[in-house]
Structure 1
Amino acid sequence: MIRVGVVGLGMMGLTHLNVYRSLPNVSIAAICDADPDRLSGKVSAAGNVEGQAQASVASLSADVRRCSDLREVIGAEDIDLVDICLPTHLHLRFGKAVLEAGQHLMMEKPLARNAADAAELAAAAESAKGLSFVGHCLRFWPGWAWLKEAVDDRRYGSVCSATFRRVVDHPKGAFYDNGDLCGGALLDLHVHDTDFVQYLFGMPKAVTSFGYSKITNEADHVVTRYQFDSVPLVVAEGGWAMTDGFTFNMCYTINFENATADFDLSRDKPLAIYEQGKTPEYPEVESKMGYDYEIEYFLECIEQQRQPTIVTMQDALNTIRIVDAEAESVKTGKTVTIEA
């Protein structure tokens, strides 16, 4: 039985908590938040995808320790795994503390606020006793995991173009209002697609990004072209600058040599495949979210005492390196080369 402490009871903390509650090989030892209303369940965060933030803190067993001080979780003898769902700028400080304490670390994406902090965390993880994992959930998301397999096994030939889009209205709150802390939509939202682009095609040679600030002092809406030798056109758009009430959506269109794959979360049948000479297909996509699968995967790694490979700390660091290059491109109006 893996004993977990969840730190930070916002949208993602509650989402992770709900997954842990559903699994037989996990015991929730503690929850931690500086806000007493969140800790008691009087106030609860909301998600922007159906199924997020469903856990009820108020209904947790009396055996679950409720803490307002992280020192009651980090280094605690009755906690094997610490799940950090804190604001991004706190990841380096508390992620390193978990690693130094010898516990396993589950870190919600992004790994850190910038590449320098991410590199420091990745270096700390190399010598740590515990295992480390970063919650890049798209790598596990039904429909997106299918795409990874389709690209890798070349079932429709090579990729001619890949387009991704992720847009929503602003999530509100002091953290999301402050670009210095959250990194704007570029780092907090668009990072999902940046990471998945890396997962599919590796590190890009360069990025050319365009965007604007509307709410924070960082890019709140961005469009990036990622340059690869192997794929002629890879583009991703992401932003949270839409007018209030705009429904969250994530989608992709991948044009292969012999087929086009199109995913749109807003449809009843989100995945559509248009293959040359065949009737369009609409494969069933599992209803579980990527959070379920990523946490199940990391718990399996802990039980088997093996390093995660689907998402590594180096992967998470490289994603931040790409995002940093995108931010530079937006600010300078120039293409930014990324060192291999």
Structure 2
Amino acid sequence: MIRVGVVGLGMMGLTHLNVYRSLPNVTIAAICDADADRLSGTVAAAGNVEGQAQASVATLPPEVRRCSDIADVIGADDIDMVDICLPTHLHVRFGKAVLTAGQHLMMEKPLARNAEDAAELAAAAETAKGLSFVGHCLRFWPGWSWLKEAVEDRRYGDVCSATFRRVVDHPKGAFYDNGDLCGGALLDLHVHDTDFVQHLFGMPKSVTSFGYTKLTGETDHVVTRYQYDTVPLVIAEGSWAMTDGFTFNMCYTINFENATVDFDLNREKCLRIFEKGKAPEFPVVESKMGYDYEIEYFLNCIEEGRKPEVVTMQDALNTIRIIDAEAKSVKSGNPVVI
């Protein structure tokens, strides 16, 4: 049985807790937050996707330790794995502390605030006793993991174009209001699609990005073209600059040689396949979210003593390298070679 301590009880901390409570090979040993109201369950964060942040810390059994100091979790004898769901700028400091203590590290995305910090964490993971994993959930998300398989086995031929879109209103709060801390929508939201583009096609040769600042002082709405020799057109748009009340949505459209497939989270039949010479298909997509599958995957890696391969620390570092290039392109108005 793997004993986990969850640090940070915001939207993602509560979402992860809910997953841990559903799995048979893990037990929640401790929860940690400096906010007493969050720690008691008096105040709870809300998610922007149906199914997020469903756990209530108020209903956790009494044997779960409640800590206001992260030092009571990192290095604790009764905790095998630490799940860091803290603000991004704290990842390098506390991620390295977990690795130094010899515990397994589950790190919520993005890996770090910039590529320099991400490289520091990735290097620490290489020599650490414990295993490390970064929660790039789209790699496990039903409908998206299917797309990865479709691209890899070339069931519809080569990819001619790939377009991704992720938009919502601003989540608000001290962290999300401060671009220096959160990195704007470019790093905190759009990073999902940047990572998935890398997952599908590898590292791009260059990026050309356009965007603007509206709320945080950093890029709050971005559109990027990723340059590849093998795919003519790859584009992703990400924004949290929409007017309050605008419902979260994520979608993609992939045009293959012999089919067009698209996914829209807010559509009843969210995955559609239009293959040449065949009637349209509307496969049933599993209702579980990527968080369920990514955590289950990492726990299995720990039990089997093998390094994660679906998401590696190098993958997570490379994603930040691409994001940094996108930020430079937005500011300069020019393509940036990676």
Report the equivalent of 1:310: 310
Written as runs of structure 1 = structure 2, the 5 A alignment for 1:101-180 is 101-180=101-180
Report the equivalent of 2:30: 30
Report the equivalent of 1:92: 92
Report the equivalent of 1:231: 231
Gaps of 5+ in 1: none
Rounded Cα–Cα distance in structure 2 between residues aligned with 1:320 and 1:108: 13
Report the equivalent of 2:296: 296
Rounded Cα–Cα distance in structure 1 between residues aligned with 2:23 and 2:255: 38
Rounded Cα–Cα distance in structure 1 between residues aligned with 2:271 and 2:53: 25
Deviations 1:5-59 (A, max 9, x none): 0000000000000000001111100000000000000000000000000000000
Rounded Cα–Cα distance in structure 2 between residues aligned with 1:238 and 1:142: 20
Local SS of the residue matching 2:21: helix
* Fraction of identical pairs, as percent: 85
Report the equivalent of 2:65: 65
Query: CA RMSD for the aligned pairs?
Result: 0.2
Residue 65 of structure 1: how far off its partner (Å): 0.1
Local SS of the residue matching 1:273: strand
Report the equivalent of 2:271: 271
Rounded Cα–Cα distance in structure 1 between residues aligned with 2:301 and 2:320: 24
Rounded Cα–Cα distance in structure 1 between residues aligned with 2:101 and 2:262: 45
Rounded Cα–Cα distance in structure 2 between residues aligned with 1:228 and 1:148: 17
Rounded Cα–Cα distance in structure 1 between residues aligned with 2:261 and 2:96: 40
Local SS of the residue matching 2:293: helix
Report the equivalent of 2:186: 186
Paired residue type of 1:252 = Y
Local SS of the residue matching 1:22: coil
Rounded Cα–Cα distance in structure 2 between residues aligned with 1:281 and 1:27: 40
Local SS of the residue matching 1:279: coil
Report the equivalent of 1:198: 198
Deviations 1:108-141 (A, max 9, x none): 0000000000000000000000000000000000
Residue 277 of structure 1: how far off its partner (Å): 1.0
Paired residue type of 1:39 = L
Local SS of the residue matching 2:299: helix
Rounded Cα–Cα distance in structure 2 between residues aligned with 1:29 and 1:43: 21
Number of positions where the alignment pairs a residue of Structure 1 with one of Structure 2? 338
Local SS of the residue matching 2:326: helix
Rounded Cα–Cα distance in structure 2 between residues aligned with 1:253 and 1:32: 40
1:336 equivalent to 2:328? Answer: no
Paired residue type of 1:175 = F
Local SS of the residue matching 2:287: coil
Rounded Cα–Cα distance in structure 1 between residues aligned with 2:216 and 2:25: 41
Residue 252 of structure 1: how far off its partner (Å): 0.1
Segments of 4+ in structure 1 off by > 3 A?
A: none
Local SS of the residue matching 1:209: strand
Report the equivalent of 1:323: 323
Rounded Cα–Cα distance in structure 2 between residues aligned with 1:247 and 1:277: 35
Written as runs of structure 1 = structure 2, the 5 A alignment for 1:38-57 is 38-57=38-57
What TM-score, normalized to structure 2? 1.00
